[in-house]
Structure 1
Amino acid sequence: MFSRTTLPSITAIAVALTLTACAGEGTSGAAASGPPDAAGDDSALGDGHGTIAGAQELPEPQLHLLSLDETGTLSHLDLLDESVGELGTVDGVADVATEGRYAYLVRPDAGAVTVVDSGVWTWSHVDHFHYYRGEASMLGDVEGSGRATVAANDAGAGLFFAETGEAIVLDAATLADAGLDERVRVSVEPHDGFIVPVGSSALVTEPGADGSPTRVRVVDGEGRLGEAVECAGAAGTIATVVGVVVGCRDGALLATIGDAGVIELERIPYPADAGAPPATEFRAREGRPTVAAVAGASGIWLLDTRKRSWALVDAGTPIVQASAVDDTDEHVLALAADGRVLVLSGATGEMLAATEPLVAASAADPELVAGIELIADQHRAYLNGPAERRLYEIDFADAARIARTFDAAAEPRFTVETGR
């Protein structure tokens, strides 16, 4: 059914040293799936290191692909042993988001977001990582009205219901205890917006007179509205190792946590001579400073949040998605409109490699193309082909070699990577 290769893993010696270094620090207590702030301070978690009762710490990342097919069945593919488990069935899903552990299933007709704990996660301890595996479970629904937009990161999950303007932040710590406690709930004027957690606070979009998002406002941990900053055409958000990015028509806002624990907002404008449409959706390898976004038909915006700078590269062909690997070779991945995966140099824009058209039928189908996801991690890229009924693993550093192909019994309409 598929070609098999061995996935690269963390060096055993390095893992042993990491676990020894933390052995005296304890491994009990409840925690979220990532660092509570950009400084990596885990004091709020006691000596937990990301573990919860009943979970097992393991020497390498427990990477999985979670897919939802046209029947509503959730499948969880273990990328280490290639086993597949079913997590349940959920109807009416129009989108799926994740921060690496939890999957958020957007169900517009039900006016709800169903939250699933994948049971696998990685804990960042600044200079090393801890890897955990527990039981997967369906945590339940967060109810609203109509379609929700989800912005999830290690600080929690922001759920925004455009029809009513309800903005909710789920608490990361209680998610780890199988709870759906709301840390923040505020109401703004209905519009097509979002709310994104930033540390213990959040940013929520607000509309202007024409009903489109024109600014973002700080919301503190008690749900109190604070400072508002202009951000015309606010669209797209992503968390990096530096802070949280929000896309604006004239560039981006970067939100970081200052010494006093207060959100600090910094504007990163586009180059004056850019001549490309603004970014509206960001993608990147988890925990890196550089993120990518589509810029017009064939352009790719690269935003380095550490250097506070933009770069524009040309893929040379129409693309529908772009993601920054941000490794030492500055690889950038793109999904071409014809279904190929492209590997580009972020430094020069040169095309380094390309696959055959892996998902041509899916990319040509307006109902399926929105669910295709090109996922980048440290060693591999993953791509779902709904019409092709396949999942692909691609070694982007080895001339875009297809490392493994997984045949699916049904259409993998949506796919996210968990365990990272």
Structure 2
Amino acid sequence: MRSRIALFALTGTLAVSLAACSTTSTAPAAPSGSADDGHGAITGAEEVAEPQLGLTAIDPQGLVTHLDLLNESVADIGEISAPTAMTTDGRYLFAQTDEGIEIVDSGVWTWDHVDHFHYYRAAPALLGSVAGEGDAMIATTNLSTTGGTGISFAGSGDAVLLDTQALSKGEITELFRIEREPHAGLVVPVGSFALVSEGSDGIGSTVVGYTADGKATGTEEPCAAPAGTITTRVGAVIGCADGALLAHVDGDELHLERIPYPASTTAPPAQSFDNREGRPTVAGLAGSEGIWLLNTRERSWTLLPSPTPLVHVTAVDDEDGHLLALAQDGRVLVLDETGAVIAETAPLVADSLAAGNTPTLIADQHRAYLSAPAERRLYEIDYADAARIARTFVTTTEPAFVAETGR
């Protein structure tokens, strides 16, 4: 294990207390078909009065650190194999390595009980790995102590559903592992079920419903070239070449709805989706032609113009319909519901983008967070205050992959 000396240093000031940075209106309700009598509690965890927000980062060599955004302390969690990609649910980090997926527990999480919230803190940990071949697509819910986590390995074709409740106890348990024709696909948890893509020649063509113990439910829908998934309060979204599938559980039954792209559009389909956690509206790039907004509550798409070439976009989905975008020149843009720029930063991550190190842009209820690997910085941005830089954290190593945890 490598030692660390002052991984983070703080510059600048913060005008508003981070204690106010609650994500209490953003997390999705507990999925139908799942229950947690403990309201997200686990043995050994401390329930606290406010969300324990932090930035958990992995450097290119696999060193995992956690920056506490409330008291600005930094802790080493440990070291994993060198990562090539990372996905998070707001508690766990699922890091892709040459051997498969390594899982990090940040030790902080929020439980959304719809009308109230519970916040927890426990010891962070490296939980171990899930073996698999090729690129992995990971799908999570927004509940970190119940339900499932899906992993689809493109190389081997294995479709894996992990027991998230077991993860919360420090255990890696596979609820099922299904062999499929290798392809770039998805395994998407939905309540006590999962949707698994099927395909051939490396391309997905359908999604099939399974119970948590790996039995087919009989639910099947066409979905050409599945790409991108996200969970909102309304249900789980799966992107397809012709639109999206929206999945939810009603009683004991899994339901799928198709939300087609507008008939007149020629814009490319979204390949990924992002939003302020749990909110109904999600955003994705329509190639270089614009921004797709999917309102899962209204089952509708909107195509907005791109004000400049973009790398990433996420929907804040607040009362004003704000979007955040990362431009190819390294600026963070605040957009209104028409796609017009209403605020912007300086080019904060131009060096990272030029080096091919894609920064991470995250939105929560009050702040945005931007990683700058090449610049060795993490930025906190007040997007409601003219994209003001609220705090800058300087790191002594590259924050290659970053997650906002505790939300």
TM superposition score normalised by structure 1: 0.89
Q: 4+ runs of 1 displaced by more than 6 Å? A: none
What is the CA distance between 1:206 and its match in structure 2?
1.1
Choose which of 371, 374, 378 in structure 2 pairs with 1:384.
Answer: 371
Choose which of 37, 49, 62 in structure 2 pairs with 1:59.
Answer: 49
Residue 146 (str. 1) matches residue 156 (str. 2): no
Q: 1:329 to 1:9 in 2, by over 3 A?
A: farther
Contact 1:63 1:418 in 2 (8 A): yes
Alignment map for 1:269-280 (pairs within 5 Å): 269-280=260-271
What is the CA distance between 1:271 and its match in structure 2?
1.1
3-state secondary structure, aligned to 1:9: helix
Q: 1:82 to 1:71 in 2, by over 3 A?
A: same
Residue 78 (str. 1) matches residue 72 (str. 2): no
Residue 134 (str. 1) matches residue 122 (str. 2): yes
What is the CA distance between 1:298 and its match in structure 2?
5.0
Instruction: Determine the structure 2 residue equivalent to 1:68.
Output: 58
**Distance between the aligned counterparts of 1:175 and 1:140, measured in 2?**
10
Contact 1:34 1:50 in 2 (8 A): no
Instruction: Determine the structure 1 residue equivalent to 2:285.
Output: 294
What is the CA distance between 1:148 and its match in structure 2?
2.0
Alignment map for 1:17-166 (pairs within 5 Å): 36-38=30-32, 44-46=35-37, 48-107=38-97, 109-110=98-99, 112-153=100-141, 154=143, 155-166=147-158
What is the CA distance between 1:97 and its match in structure 2?
0.8
Residue 192 (str. 1) matches residue 184 (str. 2): yes
Choose which of 310, 327, 330 in structure 1 pairs with 2:318.
Answer: 327
Contact 1:246 1:253 in 2 (8 A): yes
What is the CA distance between 1:351 and its match in structure 2?
1.0
**Distance between the aligned counterparts of 1:204 and 1:129, measured in 2?**
31
Contact 1:298 1:319 in 2 (8 A): no
Alignment map for 1:304-315 (pairs within 5 Å): 304-315=295-306
What is the CA distance between 1:55 and its match in structure 2?
1.3
Residue 353 (str. 1) matches residue 343 (str. 2): yes
Contact 2:161 2:212 in 1 (8 A): no
Instruction: Determine the structure 1 residue equivalent to 2:256.
Output: 265
**Distance between the aligned counterparts of 2:128 and 2:21, measured in 1?**
37
Instruction: Determine the structure 2 residue equivalent to 1:249.
Output: 241
3-state secondary structure, aligned to 1:82: coil
3-state secondary structure, aligned to 2:311: strand
**Distance between the aligned counterparts of 1:170 and 1:191, measured in 2?**
20
Which letter maps to 1:144?
Answer: G
How many residues were matched structurally? 389
TM superposition score normalised by structure 2: 0.92
Instruction: Determine the structure 2 residue equivalent to 1:365.
Output: 355
Deviation track 1:127-179 (CA, whole Å, cap 9, x = no partner) reads: 12111111101111111223322112233211111111111111121111111
**Distance between the aligned counterparts of 2:18 and 2:157, measured in 1?**
44
What is the CA distance between 1:100 and its match in structure 2?
0.8
Contact 2:183 2:202 in 1 (8 A): yes
Instruction: Determine the structure 2 residue equivalent to 1:26.
Output: none
Q: Which runs of 5+ in 1 are unaligned?
A: 16-32
Contact 1:77 1:84 in 2 (8 A): yes
What is the CA distance between 1:35 and its match in structure 2?
5.1
**Distance between the aligned counterparts of 1:337 and 1:298, measured in 2?**
14
**Distance between the aligned counterparts of 2:163 and 2:61, measured in 1?**
30
